[in-house]
Structure 1
Amino acid sequence: MPPVRSPVRCKKPVMKQLQGLHYACDAEEPSTVWVPTMIHPSHDGSANPRFPSFEAVLGVEAWIHETWVKVLNADDNEHRFLVAAQYCSECAINASLQAIWQETSWRGGLVVMRGGKYSSVIEMGGARFKRLAALAVRKYLVNTAPLVEELEQVSRAPAVMPAHI
């Protein structure tokens, strides 16, 4: 499945650092990370999606699987998060992800960014949105768990993860 990101359609995009959460493969808990993101200089919005460079955070050693995940808050309002996950069969099981869902066997790093109402990705925001991001990551792990075995066999193959959950 192709990435859910699409390139910024302009000759000179603006680069902005947007806050996301990084579940590093060798960390016990997530950390805040600045994701370099290309933005159209004059027509930023849903017609011109932003392009976060997950490769700058996760590296280019393995494929990056991108999935939009929807979660509901306590008031039943829907929030979207873009999960970018990189599977690395040589890594240990990610402890920061096991803290969210104990049954996970995900090996590798993961970055999550908050989706905006008018822009594809926006700043993560405070503790409330970080909790919702953790729910989105858990939902991602639960829904993609059956595919992890396939990833273990073909970690350098094209993405097999769903584009939307």
Structure 2
Amino acid sequence: LPAIHYSSNHDYARVVSIPTLANPGGLDRFPCIEAVFGPHAHITSSTVDIQDVKGKTHRFVIFYQQGGSLEVNQAIQNLVPGSQWRGSIIVMMTGKNIPFIGLMSTHRHLATGALQKYVL
């Protein structure tokens, strides 16, 4: 599924494809964040709701690594000046009836807003 990756190794965000396990009916989806962060990464997640200009709420899940031994994330600093966030972040979108859906380009600004809301 498409998601946004704010890597601590890059100065900018990029869209990545997250390998995702799904049951045969497709209603349960389990993104394999470890495929991007690595198999030994300690991954935490938080949910952030944000409203669009029409007042409709959209939900995003922020998967992240954080810790003093990780590199300062320049991509996050470029998004939120003064931020000292350490480690990488992946932002995925959730659906109404499906836990995770592909992040469409039309929702990217909302995903960015959700991340700014979370980091601040």
Q: TM-score range by the shorter chain?
A: over 0.9
* Number of equivalenced pairs: 120
1:74 aligns with 2:48: no
* Residue 107 of structure 2 corresponds to residue 129 of structure 1: yes
In 2, distance between residues paired with 1:99 and 1:119?
32
Percent sequence identity is 30
Higher-Rg member (1/2): 1
Partner of 1:103: 82
How big is the shift at 1:104? 1.7
TM-aligned CA deviation for residue 76 of structure 1: 0.9
Runs of at least 5 residues in structure 1 that lack an aligned partner in the other structure: 1-17, 143-165
Distance 1:62 1:56 in 2: 10
Match of 2:43 in 1: 64
- List 4+ stretches of structure 1 deviating above 3 A: none
1:88 Cα deviation (Å)? 4.0
TM-fit CA distance, 1:98: 1.2
* TM-score, normalization by structure 1: 0.68
Contact kept? 2:34, 2:41, Cα under 8 Å? no
| Distance in 1 separating the partners of 2:9 and 2:68 | 13
**What is the TM-score with the length of structure 2 in the denominator?**
0.92
- Unaligned 5+ segments in structure 2 are none
> Which one scores higher on RCO, CA 8 angstroms, separation ≥ 6?
2
Residue 121 of structure 1 aligns to a residue whose secondary structure is coil
Are 1:83 and 2:72 an aligned pair? no
| RMSD across aligned positions (CA) | 1.3
Q: Could you say what secondary structure the match of 1:97 adopts? A: helix
